[in-house]
Structure 1
Amino acid sequence: MRFLLPLLLVLSALTVLLPGCEPKEDIITTDSSAKLEFAQDTVKFDTIFVSVGTVSKRLWVYNRNARAVRVAEISLQNRPGVTYSLLVNGQPTLTARDVEIRGKDSLLVLVRATVDPTPSDLKPFLVVDDLKFRTNGNEQLVKVLSYGQNAYFHDAERIGRNTTWRADKPHVIYNSVLVERGATLTIEAGARIYSHAGSFLVVQGRLLCNPAFQPAGELKPEDRNFVRFQGDRREEQYQEVPGQWGGIQFDTLSRDNVVRFTEIRNSNYGLFFFNRRNYQPHPNVLVENSLFRNISTLNSGFGVEGAALLGVYGDFVVRNTLITNCEQYALFGIGNVNQLDYVTVANYARIVRDKPSVLLAPSIEINRVPTPAVAPRLVLRNSIVWGTNKDGNELGFVSGELYPSTISISNSVLKTKEYDNTGALGQRKNGNILNPIEGPNYLFRSTPNRFRGRTLDFQLDTLSPASNKAVPLSGLTRDLLNRPRSSTTPDIGAYERVNP
C-alpha cells in the first residue's frame, strides 16, 4: 500500500502527457488537405486618394477542420502602386508567420491600404495585389483591389491672391483652407472637393463656386457639372454620414459670394456666417440651384448647433435649392436677412429632431454674452418647409411677435403649429398651404416615411398639394435641374413636376 500513492501520481502525470488526452482542436495537423476558407475571395477598397490611407478592411479566415492548423505565412506580394499593412492577432505586421488557428475556429485579418502616386491624373486607376496564406504546403490567395486617384492637396493652405480650382483632379482639404481678404477663390464646374475631418473652407475674401456654368438643357441630379463638397472618406458606409468635415465659413468682411450648381453634404455646417458684432454691411451669399444634404448637430462651440445655412448677422439669398436630412436646422438666422424662393426643405433626419427646420431669432448668446438684438427678416416665396420634427413644427420664430413686419411668407407649403397660432404674423391667407396630410396626396415621390429602403426623391409626387400652387417670379423661369417652369401656374418648391 505504501507504493500505491506514488504509483498513482506517476500514472496521472503520464496520462496528462499522452497525446490522446489533449483536445483535438488544439492538435496541429500537417495534412495537406487541411485548407483554409475565407469569408470572401476579394478584399476591395473603394476609390482612395493617393498617399492617403483608408479604414481597415476585415477578412475572416476559417479553419473548418477538426484539428488546428499552423499558417506558416500570411503576406502580401507588395506589387508596385500600393502599400498595405496587416493586423493579425492584434499585432501590426507586414508578414505574419506561424499563426495557429484552432480547429473549428477563425482568425480576423485587418488590411489597410495606401495607394502610391502614379502619372494617371484624371481617371481612377486600379491596383491589384494578392494576400497569400501558406499552410501545410498549400498556397491560397485572396485578391486585394484598390482604386486610387490623384488629387490636389491643400494642407493648411492660405490663398492670398485670385485663384481657380480646376476640375481636372479632385481637391483634398487638410487642416482647413483660408481665402484671405482681397482674394477670390473660383471653383470650376465639375470640381470635386473632399475635406478631412474637422477641416473648413474659411472665406475672408470672396468665393465664386461654379459662377460661369450655363446648362443648355435639363440636368440629371448626378450631372458632372455640379461642384460637389463632401468628406474625404470614400468608402460606401460613409456616403450618407453627417459631420465628416466642418463646412464653408464666411468672415465678417466677406461680400458678394456666389454658390451655384453645387452640392454640399455630410458636414457640420453648409454655409456659415459669423459676424457676431453685427458689422454693416453684412457678409452675404447668393445660392442658386444647389443641394445641401446630411448636416450634423455638432455644436460650434458657441451654442449653435449645425445648420445647412447658419447666418449670424450674415445674409442669404437662396433660389431653386434643396435642403434635406439635417439633424437639426436647415436654416438658422440670427438678426440676418433671408430671401428664399423656390426652396424645398425636406428634413427627414435619421435621429429624433426637436428643433424646427427653419428658425429665426433676433440674437443669441456667445460665451454667455448676448449679441446685438436685431429683428431678422424673412421673405419666403413658393417654397416647402417640411420634415419630421417630433412636435410637428418646422417653422419657428424666437420672440416672433416683436417683428411681424419683417416676415413675409407666401404661396408656400408649411408644416407648422407656431405659424398657424401666431396671429401677430397675420399672413395665413397669402396662398400658403398649412399642414397638408401626407397621404394619399403625398408631397414628394419618395421619403423614408413612405418607401423605406428606396432612394429618396424630393421631386413632387403626381398628386402633390404643391403642384401648380406657386406664382411666377420674375427671372426665375427654370427649376433646380434647369427644367422650364410653367409661366402661369408653376409648382411650389425646388423642382417643377414632371412625369416620372
Structure 2
Amino acid sequence: MRYLYSLLLLCSIVLWSSCRNDFSTEPSNGRLSFSKDTVYLDTVFSNIGSSTYQLIVYNRSDEDISIPTIQLGKGENSNYRLNVDGLPGKSFENIDILAEDSIFVFIESTTNIDNFSQENQFLLTDAIEFDTGANQQKVELVTLIQDAVFLYPEKFDDGTTESLSFGFDEEGNEILIEGFFLDDTELTFTNEKPYVIYGYAAVPGNRTLDIEAGARIHFHEASGIIVAENGSLHVNGELSSDQELLENEVIFESDRLEPGFSEVPGQWGALWLTAGSTNNIIDYATIKNATVGVLMDSNDGSNQPTLTINNSKIYNSSNIGLLARTGYVEANNLVINKAGQSSLNISLGGRYNFTNCTFANYWTQSYRPYPAVLVENLLETPDQIIVENLIEANFNNCIIYGNENRELFFSRSDGAAFNYKFENCLIKFNDFDGSFAEEYPFEDENLYPGTIINEDPKFYEPYENKLFINEESPANGLANPATATHQDILGTTRSNPPDSGAYESSPFPEE
C-alpha cells in the first residue's frame, strides 16, 4: 500500500508539473544590458560580405523575461542581417531570456555602393531595436563601405571558370590555374580606388602593368598577379610622409580588411614573375600576408636585372618572402620579416646583389625548419636534383637575424658554381660545437669582410615588423661607405659611417 501511495504521489507531481508553464516570463522592462553600445563592422568592399560580428544581450534581473520585438531599424530594407539566438532574419518576436542569463545576436552586412551618392566610400548605419515605446533600447550598427575596381575571371555558361594554362603534367593533364589576362585598358592601376582581384591577373607578353604611387591592391584567397614571358611589372610607389598611412606606397594585401586579418599569413597567393618576364621594378611597396610574397622563376637571359626592388617590405608570408629560382635580382633597402619557411630563398643559382637589406625572421605561427636566408645552387625534385651556377650572391651592409640559432644556411652542389660574399654584414649563426666552422669560415676576409657574428641588432619591435635600430645597435656604423645606399628606406640620409640594414639608426619612438 505504501508503494502504491508513493506511485500516486509521483504521478500527481508529474501531472502538476506538466500543467504549469516552466517558461513563464515577465515582459521586458527596458533594462537589458549589452556587450557593446555600438557594433562597428569595420571596413568592407562593396558587394563583399562582412565577417560575422557578435553582440551579447544580458538579462541581469532575477526574473525570466520576454522581449516582445527585436528588429533592425530599417526593417527589410536594411543592408544588415541578424541571427538572434539561432534564428536568422531581420525581425523577431517574443524572444525569451532566462534570469541572470544572456542570448547571442550575430550581425553581418553586404551592400552595393552604387546605391549611394558618395564617390568612393560611405558610412552604412542602422540599429538593432529591442522592444518599442518607452521600453525600447537600441544598439547602433556602423560599417564603412569602400568602392573598388573588381577584376576577376569570366564565368562560362557550362559552369567552368576562365583559367590560365601552365602546360601539362607527367600524365598529360593540362595544368590550369583560375585566372585571366588583363586587357590593354586594365594595365594601369591608379590610386583612385582600391583594386580587388579574384584569381590570378596575368600581364600578357610584351605588355607592362604599371601601378601608380598610393595604389592599394587586394587579393581574394588563392589570387595574385602573374607576369608572363616578355611581360613586365612596374610598381611605382614613392616615399610617404606619414609612416602610418603610407599614402604614397603601393600596398599588396588580402581583401579582408577587418583588423583581425591584418597580420594573418597566407591569405593570398603571390606576385609571380614567371620564366622570361623582364625588367620588373618594385619601388616603395609593402607586400603582406601572402603565401609567397614575390616568386621569381628565372632571369630573362639579359645582362640587366630581371627584378629590381627598392625601399620595400615583405611581411607575414606563410611560406617564403622572396623566392628566386635562377633569378637576377638587385635589391636596395629591402626588408623581409616573418615567413613560415625562409624570408629569402635563393634557389637554383642565379645572380644577386643585396645592399642595405634587413632579412629577419621572427615567425611564431608554427615550427620553422629553415633559416631567414637560404642560399642554394640546386633544386631537389622527386625524380632528380637540378643544379645551376650561383654566379654571384653579394650581400653588402645587410642584417640577417631572427629567433632561431642559425639564420643563414647554404645548400650547395659541387656540380655547379657557388659564389657568395657577405661584406659588412651582421649575421646570426650560433655554431655551439664548431661543427659548421669549415663550411662557414666567417673569419675569411675574402668571403666575410667586415662582418660580425651573433651580435643582437637590437631591433625596436621585431615581432611587430618594426625593425628600426638605434645608436646602441652593433649595426650602427657597420656599413661600408663605398657601397651603402645614400638614403635609408625612410628617406633618411645615411650618416658617415653609415649603418648596416635598411634603417639608419635613430632614437626609438617614445613609449
Output the CA distance in 1 between the equivalents of 2:152 and 2:450: 50
Q: Which amino acid aligns with 2:363?
A: A
Output the CA distance in 1 between the equivalents of 2:370 and 2:204: 34
2:398 counterpart of 1:398: no
What CA deviation, in whole Å up to 9, does each residue of 1:303-350 have, x standing for no partner? xxx211011222221111111122221111112222110001121112
Q: Which amino acid aligns with 1:197?
A: E
**Unmatched 5+ stretches in structure 2:** 154-179
2:217 counterpart of 1:193: yes
- Root mean square deviation of aligned Cα: 3.0
Which residue does the alignment assign to 2:130? 133
2:434 counterpart of 1:433: no
Q: Which amino acid aligns with 1:199?
A: S
Output the CA distance in 2 between the equivalents of 1:130 and 1:34: 16
Correspondent of 2:491 among 473, 482, 489:
482
- How far did residue 121 of structure 1 move? 3.0
Which residue does the alignment assign to 1:382? 397
Instruction: Identify if the C-alpha distance between structure 1 residues 287 and 219 changes in structure 2 by more than 3 Å, giving closer, same or farther.
Output: farther
C-alpha contact (below 8 Å) 1:73/1:95 kept by paired residues:
yes
Which residue does the alignment assign to 1:227? 250
What CA deviation, in whole Å up to 9, does each residue of 1:119-168 have, x standing for no partner? 4334x422211111227973221100111111111113521337211101
What is the aligned residue count?
Answer: 467
C-alpha contact (below 8 Å) 2:192/2:215 kept by paired residues:
yes
Instruction: Identify if the C-alpha distance between structure 1 residues 262 and 6 changes in structure 2 by more than 3 Å, giving closer, same or farther.
Output: closer
Instruction: Identify if the C-alpha distance between structure 1 residues 372 and 422 changes in structure 2 by more than 3 Å, giving closer, same or farther.
Output: closer
TM-score between the two structures when normalised by the length of structure 1: 0.85
Output the CA distance in 1 between the equivalents of 2:6 and 2:395: 97
What CA deviation, in whole Å up to 9, does each residue of 1:205-264 have, x standing for no partner? 1100016x4x5x977364311111111111111111111111200111210000001100
Which residue does the alignment assign to 1:498? 506
What CA deviation, in whole Å up to 9, does each residue of 1:33-73 have, x standing for no partner? 36322111111111111111111000111122223222232
Correspondent of 1:343 among 353, 357, 361:
357
**Unmatched 5+ stretches in structure 1:** 297-305, 449-454
Instruction: Identify if the C-alpha distance between structure 1 residues 367 and 139 changes in structure 2 by more than 3 Å, giving closer, same or farther.
Output: farther
Instruction: Identify if the C-alpha distance between structure 1 residues 218 and 120 changes in structure 2 by more than 3 Å, giving closer, same or farther.
Output: closer
Instruction: Identify if the C-alpha distance between structure 1 residues 371 and 400 changes in structure 2 by more than 3 Å, giving closer, same or farther.
Output: closer
C-alpha contact (below 8 Å) 1:35/1:135 kept by paired residues:
no
Question: Pairwise mapping of residues 51-66 of structure 1 onto structure 2 (< 5 A)?
Answer: 51-66=47-62
Which residue does the alignment assign to 1:315? 328
Q: Which amino acid aligns with 2:106?
A: L
- How far did residue 366 of structure 1 move? 4.0
Secondary structure of the corresponding residue to residue 13 of structure 2 = helix
C-alpha contact (below 8 Å) 2:72/2:78 kept by paired residues:
no
C-alpha contact (below 8 Å) 2:412/2:418 kept by paired residues:
no
C-alpha contact (below 8 Å) 1:477/1:484 kept by paired residues:
yes
Output the CA distance in 1 between the equivalents of 2:331 and 2:408: 17
Instruction: Identify if the C-alpha distance between structure 1 residues 377 and 98 changes in structure 2 by more than 3 Å, giving closer, same or farther.
Output: farther
- How far did residue 377 of structure 1 move? 3.2
2:86 counterpart of 1:86: no
- How far did residue 16 of structure 1 move? 2.1
- How far did residue 76 of structure 1 move? 1.1
Which residue does the alignment assign to 2:68? 72
Correspondent of 1:121 among 119, 122, 136:
119
- How far did residue 360 of structure 1 move? 1.5
Task: Using the TM superposition, name which of 149-158 and 247-256 deviates more.
Answer: 149-158
- How far did residue 483 of structure 1 move? 1.3
C-alpha contact (below 8 Å) 2:277/2:300 kept by paired residues:
no
- How far did residue 412 of structure 1 move? 0.4
Which residue does the alignment assign to 1:110? 106
C-alpha contact (below 8 Å) 1:291/1:323 kept by paired residues:
yes
2:236 counterpart of 1:240: no
Output the CA distance in 2 between the equivalents of 1:433 and 1:404: 25
Instruction: Identify if the C-alpha distance between structure 1 residues 209 and 5 changes in structure 2 by more than 3 Å, giving closer, same or farther.
Output: closer
What CA deviation, in whole Å up to 9, does each residue of 1:278-314 have, x standing for no partner? 8845982100000111111xxxxxxxxx211011222
Instruction: Identify if the C-alpha distance between structure 1 residues 82 and 150 changes in structure 2 by more than 3 Å, giving closer, same or farther.
Output: farther
Which residue does the alignment assign to 2:17? 16
Output the CA distance in 2 between the equivalents of 1:284 and 1:381: 20
What CA deviation, in whole Å up to 9, does each residue of 1:173-205 have, x standing for no partner? 112211111211100000011111111111111
Instruction: Identify if the C-alpha distance between structure 1 residues 64 and 257 changes in structure 2 by more than 3 Å, giving closer, same or farther.
Output: same
Which residue does the alignment assign to 2:206? 182
Question: Pairwise mapping of residues 345-364 of structure 1 onto structure 2 (< 5 A)?
Answer: 345-351=359-365, 352-364=367-379
What CA deviation, in whole Å up to 9, does each residue of 1:372-412 have, x standing for no partner? 444363110000000012xx111111027776751111110
Output the CA distance in 1 between the equivalents of 2:213 and 2:327: 26
Secondary structure of the corresponding residue to residue 390 of structure 2 = coil
C-alpha contact (below 8 Å) 1:159/1:183 kept by paired residues:
no
Q: Which amino acid aligns with 1:169?
A: K
Output the CA distance in 1 between the equivalents of 2:91 and 2:255: 29
C-alpha contact (below 8 Å) 1:201/1:247 kept by paired residues:
yes
Instruction: Identify if the C-alpha distance between structure 1 residues 9 and 349 changes in structure 2 by more than 3 Å, giving closer, same or farther.
Output: closer
Which residue does the alignment assign to 1:165? 189
Which residue does the alignment assign to 2:177? none
C-alpha contact (below 8 Å) 2:337/2:465 kept by paired residues:
no
Task: Using the TM superposition, name which of 260-269 and 196-205 deviates more.
Answer: 196-205
Output the CA distance in 2 between the equivalents of 1:414 and 1:323: 15
Correspondent of 1:147 among 113, 120, 144:
144
Q: Which amino acid aligns with 1:476?
A: T
Output the CA distance in 1 between the equivalents of 2:484 and 2:470: 25
Instruction: Identify if the C-alpha distance between structure 1 residues 405 and 7 changes in structure 2 by more than 3 Å, giving closer, same or farther.
Output: closer
C-alpha contact (below 8 Å) 1:69/1:135 kept by paired residues:
no
C-alpha contact (below 8 Å) 1:379/1:409 kept by paired residues:
yes
